[in-house]
Amino acid sequence: MKRLLGVALGVLTAIGGFLDIGDLVTNAVVGSRFGMSLVWVVVVGVVGICVFAQMSGRVAAVSGRATFEIIRERLGPRTGAANLVASFLINLLTLTAEVGGVALALQLASSVEPRLWMPVAALAVWLVLWRVKFKIMENVTGLVGLCLVGFAVALFLLGPDWGDLLSGALHPTVPATEGHAVYWYYAIALFGAAMTPYEVFFFSSGAVEERWKVKDIAESRLNVLVGFPLGGLLSISIAACATVVLLPRHIEVSALSQIVLPVAQAGGKLLLAVVIVGIVAATFGAALETSLSSGYTLAQYLGWSWGKFRRPAQAARFHLTMIVTLLVGTGILMTGVDPVMVTEYSVVFSAVALPLTYIPILVVANDPEYMGEHVNGRVMNALGTVFLVVILLAALAAIPLMVVTGAGR
Amino acid sequence: MTRDERLPRPPTPAGRVLDARLHLLSRQVLDADDMPLTTVDDLELRSTDDGPDRAPAADGGITGARVYTVTALLSGAALATRVLGGRAPASRWLRIDWGRVSDVGTVVRIAGTGDDLDATWTERWVRDRIIRRIPGGDHDPQ
Amino acid sequence: MTRARGRRGRSLACLVCVTVLVGACAPPGRSSPEVVDDAVTEAIAAAATARLAMELFSSGDLPRETTRTTLAASLEDAHQAALDLGTLEVPGPQDSRTRDEALRAVADATSAIVTSRSAVSSTSDRTVDESTAALAEAIEQLDRVQDEVAP
């Protein structure tokens, strides 16, 4: 019975922790401009993150080493350094977006200027990093993040034409009002939003934090294979809500407030309150994860002691890194930059940086020196290779498309 | 291949022969409590055929003909030079004397704790000057 | 010596290639009707958002704070649209007329959003309905301009 509860907790946390500000914004933008014609990208992205997370979790559980330690050892310091700089910067960008997301969600509830919330949010994030146990932190933000199920509830309450929605998803076409370049640009953005690199740093370092052994692989596989697709369904419901309510009114999403209007229309103030709580929890959780990832990447590359399982005095440089990245992220936000715009850039750059993390994991997952008998099977390698091609294509096309479309105009 | 073109036979000294790049460089250094200390960024070598305390030869001076022993692990300032090239002066290296090394495997282990090592001074500095000054810095999160 | 030169030659070739690629990917200059169309689209989105928010507010589905936040964001978007139109370099009198029409429609939408904001802050229901109607009118006007502009 206890085991069943543990498994249920793992799955629920995976669902609630799946969404972050990148998913929220990108899915809503896509739903309001392209309808259901990009839903297939979410499906591809979910399969991809399942493959990726599962591989990196297995690597961490079997080898006892986390991602960047392996990258440094396997690729050497030069390639590892390039990888580190790129991953660190994009992580910082994502962290900035997440903290901004927390502030925007709090503004929705209070109409207090977000710049007043940003330092508060950053301080709260740091306090949790400083004092709260890893498992508790994950479980609380994951479970409260489940409130985002409100989007799926809203979709049902809106009573849409399901046949229309389904056919729009199954027969994707570029709408007349948008060009092909913009369509593919947003496909890449959506892909980057689903397959966030920080997820992998966090997942594999978390496996070391929680001291996973080989026997934990099965449970993590279940969490991933059940939790992430359900999280993907939530992403799709966000897009569908935007399609049903915003697209017919020609409302192109550019602010967080527009994203929740369909929820208010469907379920009034109560459902809206639930969803706002969910947004705060999801973005807060993602801010925690990205801060930790910044600490993990730097500490693992440079060989410092790291981990939330150690007291801060025993992982001093690790904690200092997180403090500094939070300060820098908050500083960027206080210049008045629009957090939604930061989010839109962060997902595209995540897609660009994806090969840097993915390729080393794929290589190590096949290395018997690290993995022993738990190297990738044929199916996993086939899937892994397919996604390698997809990831490389997305990474190569992202910047040219960004330039050509003026970042999705 | 003619006799002249064949590679010279490697020397076979007593003791363990390691491949620097494969077994030592970029490896994590742990202390006896499994606490990560630093990475191995470079090695200090001494040729047993020369006198002691002779600085290692520049690139091209190390051939397979002589026996070289590792006298210390180097880290810190040496990282930048490994990535970008060049050689830092000896005083910039953080040394871990080879005598402290207790095991070489997937990680390099040091006997005792790392608190007295030069190589971990930045960790101690950040800990004492910054982290310990923030309330709760010594709190055990488990 | 030959080696160093070869390396420099390769670096130079790389630099030239990258510059050409970036230049080739640079977005083509956007024509006046395109800019007007984009600005009007943005203004329509802003006004429609405000209208939806007002409708939900008057039906009691959207709390006051969230409505105010939504309207503030709409106002920013409308201002941006006006700015894009105002800074546009028009090549001829026909484009100038189109731009002026669009500016007028966007200005009407902006003032409707501002009226809505004050309606939300006070408690008179009548003003809420009036501002919602003003928003609907502004959207129709913007739609008309967009039909004319369509590039």
Question: Which ipTM value was assigned to this complex?
Answer: 0.89
Q: Which residues of A touch C42 (CB under 8 A)?
A: 252
Chain C residue closest in CA terms to A409: C38
Query: Which residues of B touch chain A, with CB atoms under 8 Å apart?
Result: 26-29, 35-39, 41, 75, 79, 82-83, 106, 122-124, 126-127, 130-132, 134, 136-142
Q: Can you tell me the mean pLDDT for C15-31?
A: 66
Q: Can you tell me the mean pLDDT for A105-117?
A: 92
Q: Which residues of C touch A252 (CB under 8 A)?
A: 41-42, 45
Quote the pLDDT of residue B52: 47
Quote the pLDDT of residue B115: 79
Q: Which residues of A touch C34 (CB under 8 A)?
A: none
Q: Please name which of A306, A216, A205 lies closest in space to residue B38, comparing C-alpha atoms.
A: A306
> Given an 8 Å threshold on Cβ–Cβ distance, is B36 in contact with A76?
no
Q: Which residues of A touch B26 (CB under 8 A)?
A: 72-73, 76-77, 80
Residue B10 domain flag: no
Q: Which residues of A touch B36 (CB under 8 A)?
A: 299, 303-306
> Given an 8 Å threshold on Cβ–Cβ distance, is A109 in contact with C65?
yes
Hey, is the C-beta of C95 within 8 angstroms of any chain A C-beta? no
Hey, is the C-beta of C73 within 8 angstroms of any chain A C-beta? yes
In whole angstroms, how large is the CA radius of gyration of chain C? 23
Residue B77 domain flag: yes
Q: Which range, of A61-65, A148-152, A237-241, A381-385, averages the lowest pLDDT? A: A61-65
Residue B138 domain flag: no
The pLDDT tens digits of the residues spanning A269-304 come to 999 999 999 999 999 999 999 999 999 999 988 889
Q: Which residues of A touch B142 (CB under 8 A)?
A: 133, 309
Q: Which residues of A touch B35 (CB under 8 A)?
A: 305, 314
Top pLDDT among A71 and A403 is at: A403
In one-letter notation, the amino acid at residue A196 is T
Q: How far apart are CA A207 and CA A60, in angstroms?
A: 6
Chain A residue closest in CA terms to B35: A305
pLDDT at residue B63 is higher than 70: no
Hey, is the C-beta of A368 within 8 angstroms of any chain B C-beta? no
The pLDDT tens digits of the residues spanning A305-317 come to 998 888 888 899 9
Smallest Cβ distance to A108: which of C26, C44, C69?
A: C69
Quote the pLDDT of residue C28: 60
CATH code, domain with B66: 2.30.30.240
Tell me, yes or no, if the pTM score tops 0.80.
yes
Q: Please name which of B24, B124, B123, B121 lies closest in space to residue B82, comparing C-alpha atoms.
A: B24
Residue B118 domain flag: yes
Residue B128 domain flag: yes
> Given an 8 Å threshold on Cβ–Cβ distance, is A261 in contact with C56?
yes
pLDDT at residue A31 is higher than 80: yes
Q: How far apart are CA A382 and CA B129, in angstroms?
A: 51
Quote the pLDDT of residue B64: 55
Residue B40 domain flag: yes
Q: How far apart are CA A333 and CA A341, in angstroms?
A: 11
Instruction: Name the residue range of residue B72's domain.
Output: 16-133
Q: pLDDT band for position C26 (50/70/90)?
A: low
Find residues 30-69 of chain C whose CB sits inside 8 Å of chain A: 38, 41-42, 44-45, 48-49, 51-53, 56, 60-66, 68-69
pLDDT cut 90: percent of chain A above it = 61
Query: How many domains are contained in chain B?
Result: 1
Chain B residue closest in CA terms to A75: B26
Residue B9 domain flag: no
Quote the pLDDT of residue C6: 64
Cβ-Cβ pairs closer than 8 A, A with B, add up to 80
